[in-house]
Structures are given as C-alpha cells and as structure tokens.
Amino acid sequence: MKSAVAFSLLLALVPSSTEAIKLPHFGRIDANDNDLVQRVLKQEYTHIVVGGGNAGLAVASRLSEEPTFSVLVLEAGTWQPLTPGVVVPGLAGTTFNTDIDWAFYTQPQEHAKGRRVYWPRGKILGGSSALNFMAWTRGHKSDYDSWDALGAKGWNWNSLLPYFKKSEKFSTPSSNNQNAQPVYDASVHGTSGPVQISFSPYISDQFTGFYEGIQKMGVSVANDLNDGKMDGVAWSQSTIGKGGLLNERRVTSQTAYIDPIWLTRSNLCVLPGMQATRVLFDTTNKDNVKATGVEFTFANITTGHTFSASATREVILSAGSIQTPQLLELSGIGDASFLESKGINSVVDLPGVGENLADHPAIVVVEKLKEGSKTLDAIGANPILAGAALAEWALGKGILTQELSTLAYLDSQTLLNASDHSRALTMMNRLKSSSNIPTAQVEQQIAQVKAGSPIMEFLAINVYFGANAAGEPNVPYLSLAACAQKSFSRGSIHIASNDPKAYPNIDPQYLQADIDKFYLMRAAQFLRELAKTDALSQYIDSEAEPGPEVQSEQQLEDWIENVVRTEYHPIGTAKMGARNDQGVVDENLIVHGTSNLRVVDLSVMPMHVSTHPQSTAYAIAEKAADLMRQKA
C-alpha cells in the first residue's frame, strides 16, 4: 500500500490554514468558516461555474488556462475523500447512499408498477465521475450528427472528435491474466489529454465466457468502442490510471483536470460545500437579461448564511441533468406560469426547461455461478478476502483493478431477426404521432437505427446486481445487464417547490413507449441464450432472476415492469436547439433570452447517444471552453 500512503501524504499538503494563501484559489470550507467565504467574495471573478462535476471541473480548468480569466467553482459536495469506493475501481458502487451521493428517487413510474426508481448522483468534486462505473466509450457517429440535424448547429461527430481526443490520455493494453488481446484503434484516441484511459490487467473467467459466448451468438469483435461505429463486443476501456500515483486508481474530473494544477493556478478558486440557490440577473434589457452572479449557501446547513459572488463575464451551470434545470427554474427561467404557481417570478419564459428528459432504461438477468467462482460477492462479505484483494490492488493487480471489463453493443438488425426488426420499425413509425416524443426525434432515431447505431448494450457485472438489496450469502453471481440505448420515452424534471434544498420531481416515464419494453424483452431472451452457450454455461449453476417461472413473452414484460431501472444516464433537460422548438440553450450553449448564462453539462444534449456518456461530458466541456475563450 506504499502508493496509497504517498497519496494520503499528498492530500495532507492541502492547506488547512487559509492564512497561508493570499488569494484563496483553493477552499476547504466548513460551516463555521465564514471568514474564508467573505474573503473569496471580495475577489472579482470573470466566470463562475456552478457544479464541480464531470463537465464543470473540466470547463473550469480549461478556462483558467486563460491568465486574464478568474474562475470560481461552487460545488455542493466535498473535496474527494480517499474513500475506497471512489479510489478503487472494483469497489465502485459501494458509495451508493453515502454522503457523496445525492440519492435521488424518481416519481412513481406509471408504466412500471408505480415504483420509485433510485438515481444515484455524485455529490462530490468530480460529480458523477467519482461515482460511476468508469466505462469509456463514445456514441455512434449518427447519434451526434442528429444533434446538428435537430438544430444544434455545428455539433456533430466530426466537430466533436478533436475534443474527445483532447480530453484523453489513452494507454495501450499491457498484459493481463487471461492473455487476452484487447482490440483497439489507436488512431481514434488522444494521448496527451488529462483523462487517463486504460484496460484492466485482470479479467474474470466468466467475463471471458461472456466475450466468447456472445461471439457465438453472432456478435463480432468491435474495432474500438470509441470509433463512432461501436459494432460489437470489446474489452472495456475505463477511466483508470496507469503508472504513478494513479496506478489502477479511478480517474475523475478532479484527479484529471484539477489535482495537477490547483497548487499553481492562482486564478482558479474551487469552493466545495457550497450549494448555489439562484443565478442573479440584471434585467434592464428584458429580452436579453444578463447574469451578474450567483447566490449560494452552505450545502449542509438549512438556515442562515446566504452569500453571493459576482461574475463580470459569464455564469456557467454545470450542475448536471437533474440540478441544472432545477437551478434554472429557481432562478426564474422556465415555463412562466408553472414558475408563478411555485411562487417564483419569471425572468425568461422558457417552457423547454426540464423537459426532454431521456435515459437508458436497464434490466439485469442474474446468474448464480458454480461454487468457487471468483467474484466480488465474497470480497464484499469477507473482510479477510477483502484485505487480501486490497493488498493485491495496491500492487496494481487482481480483481479490484477491474470494473465493467466487457461490453457489447448490438444494433437492431443483430439483436432481432428480420421479421422482428421490421415489426420494430413499424412500432417506431407509429410514434411519429405520439405526444410524448417529438416527431423529429423519432425520425432521427429511426435513421440512427438504420445506420447501425446500437439499440442495446449488454454488460457483465462481477457481483450480485439484481432487483433485490442483496443476493444469497456465499453465492457467487454474474449479473448480465441489458440497457436500452434508444428509448422512445421522454420525461421531465421540475422543481417540487421554491425551496432550493428540496429535491426536484424526476419523472423519466420509463416504458411509456411500448417499443422500449419490446426491445428489453428480446434482450432478456438474448441473455438467456447467451447463458446457454458452451463458453459461458460452464461457469453457471442456475438463473436467479427473472427465474424459471418467468417464461412467456407476457411474463417477461411483466417482470420488466417490475424491475426496470436506470443505467444512470439522464440527459436532455436543457436541450440545445431553437427557442421555438423547446430549446433551452443555443449552439453556443447560451441560455435563450440571456446574454451570458451558459449550460455546460449533459443536460444540453438534444438527444441521447447509444453509449455511456462521461466521455461526451468531457467533450462538451472542452468545446465549451473554446467557445468562451473565442468570445473573449
């Protein structure tokens, strides 16, 4: 654990006395530290970024490269702790429902048995990049090209590719315990950006079974899941460091974009523990209001202490797909009559705020593995095994270096036979007259499907991850997730009240469109067939979920309504697009009706991409920083 000790020592260098810093470009604030807050407030900032998450810290770091800028970041969560669940890849998920998780729940889901679905989100510097499962993939080329076609001018695969590359530092695979040869395409990667990307040195036996079995099911090996084609199965690339202090450790937007610079970048001030409650405006010009600053409070205290800081150039909202629309509404930007019903004065009437919510709904087929199979279940239950695994990890080896190490993306034509595929297209076409999803989006999704953009993702998880709180004791599990990448359901996120500390109402409308359930049903059948392939079945004892009593299509669909959950990928609630088309921001990410309020996070995505979205969050932030530097 030598490097872990070194890592703690480095953290100890973090100044605890604020006296030492003339310009407090780094804050460690607790509720009693009004002094530091006051000193920070006396500074003049050119830019204030709200939300030090995945996109927020990336954009703040890039902005602060400009010496004439001074940047303040307000983040509700704390500086990243050395919590094992943050640092150790194999322990991702153990931070759920802890202090660093907002732990949202959706509204009861009308088409999913009235259940509330749990939505973890990072409440920590790094945001959800500190809580996620680290998979590093880009969507299909046609997914991004749809943004441009829908009115987000200049946002397409070709224009984003340089920014994807700018963010990443790709490491070619080194040896692994299975002697597997991950396939990749170095030409699509960047090698000098801040976000380290690597392949795990450890592959579980049952993951090899998945990788080989799915090829027997007609799925080819992908060229590279970051090449814009994403056609098949791959050993996963992940946000995990190689070498140095970050060897086999999770890489977040804090470790990548902030840790290397905070000691020297005196024009960047990062304030954890601060929750923004409202954007402040100069409304002299009613048709084009100007953001002048941000009001905020201690995130952990319900009363007292309201501060404000002013921004001379721009205010940037990076609070994520859930809280960016919440903050816009709290600030008077949203549907005017709705806001007035909540006691908020309208500043800009913008009915698109909080609408257009899209997610990737998921189900998990759970297999009990044969006795003696090595999984994380035993490590979670047995402190001696856990200690041994951690000791191995500290040496850069073993099961805890691994996260989602194999992923597969299937287009509709590969998942379904020809007659089912044409049936699916008929169902999609019928949605053109639906009131839930805009016709233009249905048309784009059909075009994407025809272009081979994946409809379904399958991934293997090395631990019980089913519908119950836990599996049976002393049983090793393999969880096989099917995640729908092109949902045709759209939902919304709106404030529940004008209290900034109250959680907003989240309603993803899971399974509102029948086609979503149809694809998930076929995906569950596919996973059952996969489990029967020789390559994978050799490890399996029996199916735990849905279980043998669930057989007919109707029973499977009923089960899906009982278990459908999130792949944790909400987007779209402040979408880029024309104001008369429910757009919230323009193609420069500036909120309509304002001159200088930008949104930089996944809420600006007009439509979803068929993949894990963290690389897209970094690319959006990189492009946004360029837009702001060009303007200045």
Looking only at residues 339 through 398 of this chain, which bind ligand FAD when binding is defined by CB under 6 A?
A: none
Q: How far apart are CA 596 and CA 40, in angstroms?
A: 22
596 binds ligand NAG per the rule CB under 6 A: no
- The helices-and-strands tally (H runs, E runs) of the chain is 19, 23
Indicate which single residue of 223, 247, 300, 582 sits in contact with ligand NAG (rule: CB under 6 A): 300
Query: What single DSSP character describes residue 504?
Result: P
CB closer to ligand FAD out of 131 and 197: 131
Residue located via tokens 């836990």: 470
Indicate which single residue of 28, 62, 123, 486 sits in contact with ligand FAD (rule: CB under 6 A): 123
Looking only at residues 429 through 458 of this chain, which bind ligand NAG when binding is defined by CB under 6 A?
A: none
If contact means CB under 5 to 8 A according to the sort of partner, which of ligand NAG, ligand FAD, none does residue 331 touch? none
If contact means CB under 5 to 8 A according to the sort of partner, which of ligand NAG, ligand FAD, none does residue 55 touch? ligand FAD
- Please give, one letter per residue, the 3-state secondary structure of 95-115: CCCCCCECCEECCCECCCCCE
Shortest Cβ distance from residue 164 to ligand FAD (Å)? 12
Shortest Cβ distance from residue 518 to ligand FAD (Å)? 25
As a dihedral over the C-alpha atoms of residue 447, residue 453, residue 456, residue 459, rounded to 10 degrees, the angle is -170
Looking only at residues 129 through 168 of this chain, which bind ligand FAD when binding is defined by CB under 6 A?
A: 129, 131-135
Q: How far apart are CA 121 and CA 129, in angstroms?
A: 9
128 binds ligand FAD per the rule CB under 6 A: yes
The torsion region of residue 452 among left (phi > 0), alpha (psi -120 to 50) and beta comes to left
Indicate which single residue of 399, 614, 625, 628 sits in contact with ligand FAD (rule: CB under 6 A): 614
Q: Are 410 and 421 in contact (CB under 8 A)?
A: no
419 binds ligand NAG per the rule CB under 6 A: yes
CB closer to ligand NAG out of 273 and 577: 273
Shortest Cβ distance from residue 98 to ligand FAD (Å)? 12
CB closer to ligand NAG out of 187 and 419: 419
Stretch that binds ligand NAG, among 301-309, 362-370, 415-423, 537-545 (CB under 6 A): 415-423
Active-site residue set:
569, 612
- Kindly tell me the sign of the dihedral angle through the C-alpha atoms of 143, 148, 154, 155: negative
If contact means CB under 5 to 8 A according to the sort of partner, which of ligand FAD, ligand NAG, none does residue 272 touch? ligand NAG
If contact means CB under 5 to 8 A according to the sort of partner, which of ligand FAD, ligand NAG, none does residue 319 touch? ligand FAD
Q: Are 150 and 608 in contact (CB under 8 A)?
A: no
- Measured at CB, which residue is nearest to ligand NAG? 273
Looking only at residues 320 through 349 of this chain, which bind ligand FAD when binding is defined by CB under 6 A?
A: 320-321, 323, 327
Q: How far apart are CA 628 and CA 153, in angstroms?
A: 17
If contact means CB under 5 to 8 A according to the sort of partner, which of ligand NAG, ligand FAD, none does residue 327 touch? ligand FAD
52 binds ligand NAG per the rule CB under 6 A: no
417 binds ligand NAG per the rule CB under 6 A: yes
Q: How far apart are CA 623 and CA 541, in angstroms?
A: 49
95 binds ligand NAG per the rule CB under 6 A: no
Looking only at residues 259 through 278 of this chain, which bind ligand FAD when binding is defined by CB under 6 A?
A: 275-276
| Angle formed at CA 228 by CA 222 and CA 232, multiple of 5 degrees | 20
Nearest to 615 by CA among 164, 130, 46: 164
**Assigned token pair, 342:** 């909540």
**How far is CA 140 from its chain centroid?**
17
Compute φ and ψ for 544, nearest 5 degrees.
-90, -40
Window 55-94: contact mask with ligand NAG (x via CB under 6 A):
----------------------xx----------------
Helix or strand run (H / E) with residue 213: helix 205-216
Indicate which single residue of 399, 568, 573, 625 sits in contact with ligand FAD (rule: CB under 6 A): 568
Q: Are 621 and 58 in contact (CB under 8 A)?
A: yes
If contact means CB under 5 to 8 A according to the sort of partner, which of ligand FAD, ligand NAG, none does residue 420 touch? ligand NAG
Shortest Cβ distance from residue 112 to ligand FAD (Å)? 19
Considering CB under 6 A, how many residues would be counted as binding ligand FAD? Answer: 39
| Angle formed at CA 278 by CA 275 and CA 281, multiple of 5 degrees | 145
Cα→Cα distances 334→4, 137, 435, 598, Å:
47, 33, 20, 15
Shortest Cβ distance from residue 269 to ligand NAG (Å)? 16
Considering CB under 6 A, how many residues would be counted as binding ligand NAG? Answer: 10
Q: How far apart are CA 427 and CA 249, in angstroms?
A: 44
Indicate which single residue of 299, 376, 484, 625 sits in contact with ligand NAG (rule: CB under 6 A): 299
Cα→Cα distances 504→103, 293, 294, 300, 606, Å:
12, 23, 20, 17, 21
Indicate which single residue of 26, 37, 48, 53 sits in contact with ligand FAD (rule: CB under 6 A): 53
508 binds ligand FAD per the rule CB under 6 A: no
If contact means CB under 5 to 8 A according to the sort of partner, which of ligand NAG, ligand FAD, none does residue 131 touch? ligand FAD
Residues in the chain: 632
- Measured at CB, which residue is nearest to ligand FAD? 53
Q: How far apart are CA 384 and CA 464, in angstroms?
A: 20
Q: How far apart are CA 513 and CA 511, in angstroms?
A: 5
Cα→Cα distances 92→290, 376, 391, Å:
41, 11, 17
Amino acid identity at 518 = F
**Assigned token pair, 33:** 């530290």
271 binds ligand NAG per the rule CB under 6 A: no
Q: How far apart are CA 454 and CA 139, in angstroms?
A: 9
Indicate which single residue of 194, 228, 273, 606 sits in contact with ligand NAG (rule: CB under 6 A): 273
236 binds ligand FAD per the rule CB under 6 A: no
Which parts of this chain interact with ligand FAD (CB under 6 A)? 50-56, 74-77, 120-123, 127-129, 131-135, 275-276, 318-321, 323, 327, 568-569, 601-602, 612-614, 617
The residues of the shown chain that bind ligand NAG, judged by CB under 6 A, are 77-78, 99, 272-273, 299-300, 417, 419-420
